[in-house]
Structure 1
Amino acid sequence: MSIQTRPAPDDVNNNEKAPRDNPQPNGDSWAHEAERQAGKEEEEERGHEQQAKKAAESKHDGPAGGFDATAIPERPPGYTLKFIIHRATNLPMADINTLSSDPYVHAQLYSDAPTRHKEDPPIRFRTPTIRRNTEPVWDEEWVVANVPASGFQLKLRVYDEDPADKDDRLGNVHIYVDRVTDDWPGLKEQSYEMKARMASKRAYIIRMAAVCLRTTKHIRGNLFVSIENLGRTEHDGQNGRVYTVGPCRWIRHYDPMLGRMMGMKEADEDGDEPKQAKEDTPKQQSSQSHSLPKGSKDEKKVKKYNFQANQMQLEGPVPLQLYHRYVEFKPFVKGMFTSSGIRGFILSKALHHQHNRVYSFDSQTVWGHY
């Protein structure tokens, strides 16, 4: 006798409704997933657009540094002028030991010609130093292009060069020209009395003592300057930018202290360039000294530490693509170059001090022309 059993209706329904191991998603879940992905893509696109907009705004306001493509406002070409600094007379005596001076002239040209930025300095010129002379003769020429027809102001300051201390100012001369035209005759070896404003009190005290002792007759000196009008500046694509045409010259500066710090020695007599020296140990120095024969040239020749820095003045104008300001790799760089804020002002002073240290002028400075 066999007995057969059948599942209850509830069991059958439960088996049919049991979930499968790998259920397939329906159309509604696919739609939700697509909407979610589209929303993410839209948010990413908005973020990229905002970043690009911020970068464009910062670039429009001003570059962070490096190459600056800021255009100069266009204006008609100006005039090419030649400034000649001839000589000076009756200069004060800044050096007590020699009862003389080491004078040079520092010139700055100001005009209403626009610049890219307010931090851009006026164009400058410096004459060589005449040693131990209160009646110096320079006869130095300075050619400047695109001087505007609205006129200019030429500031001339006579200094006494003092490498060990701050240079003493001996006097000032300011030349004002209201307007420059095609038929402007210029100036022919015009004499200007030097003003003593901001000048060295020590130098003028020595000068007054010399006048009292009747070794000299005048307290204040005179500076002789000429200005030649060379005509209109040819169209050069500079939009009226003022620049130096000449002279083309080079200046070589030396500094033994920096040479010692950098390990740089002077050039050989054969003309070889100085190379970075390596510090020898006492044993190496003693072995080298014993290996050299007595009385030889190599034994007598002693190389001195000396750092060499060169400046070059080439014929202008400088191409617009070479205009660079600074590279703002750190937040303090902009303040250092623009002297903004207390920290920027202090860093700017330190930067100028180091620059003057490297490119210092003294009796070893060599001048030359191309």
Structure 2
Amino acid sequence: MLPIRIDCHYAGGNIRIVSAEEGLIRLEQDIRDTTEWWFYWNFRATVVSRSEQETVFEFVNGEVVGPWGPAVSDDGISWSWLGSDSLLSRTTFRFRFTETMKQVYFAFSLPYQEHHFERFYSGIAADPRVRRDVLTQSEQLRSVPLLRVGSPSASQHILVTCRHHACESTPSYLMEGLLNYYLAQPESQVLNEYLFHYIPFVDIDGVENGDQGKSRSPHDHNRDYTEAPVYRSTTAIIEYARQLRPTAGIDLHGPYKWGGRNDVPFLVKQDPPVQGEIERLSLHLERITAARSTPDAIRHRSADDIDMGVEWNQPHGKNASAAFRRAGARLAFTLEFPYFGKGEIAITIENSRQFGEDTAKALEAYLLESP
């Protein structure tokens, strides 16, 4: 019998075992109904035989281990990086189990599940400026949360969506920092004048089931903003945005796994006149993040933003930011936030929330200077 047992039977779990022998386990990510290769994985190792030992985990379907090794947790709730010294290659990492360990969770990046959102919500629920509702029911009859933050009498609205692609988890921590910044102010001018409408899990089934979510067949949630959407959540968002007529619509995403622009936060632009509004916000964000003195602060450079018509940012009108624009948003864009980071600055839960605070400050500056 092997000294450890591998499984993924929990929220967000995703793995396939290719082969297993003592000291070496070969694995691959479960791509499921994704129509192209993708990289998300998340598994649990339960210690069966209590003895100190080193195990090598090797992925056989592409380079899917980041620069800091895997994210690791002993409870599936609190996560950190195992460290670059665990990295044998971008397909392989090692871990030493000790006699006191019962189980250890490993993941491609820092996970964020529904239970993380519930913990965040419990910390702000008592604030009278926070109200919770259900947007709709998912295909698997999960409730899709809708969080409203701000004054109910506010005349202007900001719609924020996250997790159109289930595996793109780090922006969820960013959003916690953004909302906490405004709620920390007893009298926030932004919350007095604007009401935030936050949908944390557009693809809640994919998030909880541990799907990749990107390029799901027949198309994923962020290509469903059409005249005949196939998903319940996007159908509900289209109608909600139409009735809301938001001033701003923000869609949070994670980019490709790593490399180049994918290692830093960047804004995805649209055509004029929205392009000019995005560029104004981007300059505020660049200025605010540049002023951070903490050594692990995540910086934004407007030069990293991607123009409409460049690379994959092509006009097709089927994504959320295009839908926000059609609903009347003056400012409508996608914010891509990396999985890992760049250089010596790793993406962590703490600095992701800090970047969310900086994003809130940039949005505040933009909104309060706008006509």
Task: Identify whether the pair has TM-score above 0.5, normalized to the shorter chain.
Answer: no
Q: Return the TM-score normalized by structure 2.
A: 0.24
Q: Computing the radius of gyration over CA atoms, which structure comes out larger, 1 or 2?
A: 1
